[in-house]
């Protein structure tokens, strides 16, 4: 299972890109085989890495379909295979360490 932070943004469409981001997110909203969560800078997607790559391509196409001539996409991939990887698990681990006062 992989976790991917994805940011998709068009260039040359003005300062506000919220409508483009919303259109890209509609791609994720229309499926049920990966989990996802929107953040202020990135959307985190959890699931099969190949499926996530396919969805990212669909998200880019959705932004192009709105009239963007150029789209920049940033991906950060965490593909862990030694144990289960979930969004909640990563957050819980950090919260436990903070509560214990252990910053290692």
10-34: pLDDT as tens digits: 998 888 899 999 999 999 999 999 9
Structure tokens given for 98:
């903070």
All domains in the chain, ordered by first residue = 2-100 (3.30.70.930)
Please answer whether residues 24 and 62 qualify as being in contact, where contact means their C-beta atoms are separated by less than 8 angstroms: yes
Largest CA distance in the chain: 50
Mean pLDDT in the chain?
93
pLDDT at 104: 56
Please name the residues in contact with 65: beta carbons below 8 A apart, sequence gap of 6 or more: 23
Taking Cα atoms as reference points, which of 77, 75, 79, 76 lies closest to residue 9?
75
């Amino acid at each position: 299972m992989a976790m991917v932070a994805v940011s998709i943004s068009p260039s040359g469409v003005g300062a506000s890109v919220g409508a483009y981001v919303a259109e890209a997110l509609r791609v994720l909203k229309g499926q049920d085989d990966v989990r996802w969560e929107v953040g202020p800078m990135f959307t985190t997607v959890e699931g099969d890495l190949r499926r996530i790559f396919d969805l990212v391509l669909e998200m880019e196409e959705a932004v192009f379909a709105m009239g963007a001539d150029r789209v920049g996409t940033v991906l950060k991939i965490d593909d862990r295979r030694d144990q289960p990887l979930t969004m909640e698990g990563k957050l819980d681990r950090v919260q436990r360490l903070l509560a214990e006062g252990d910053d290692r």
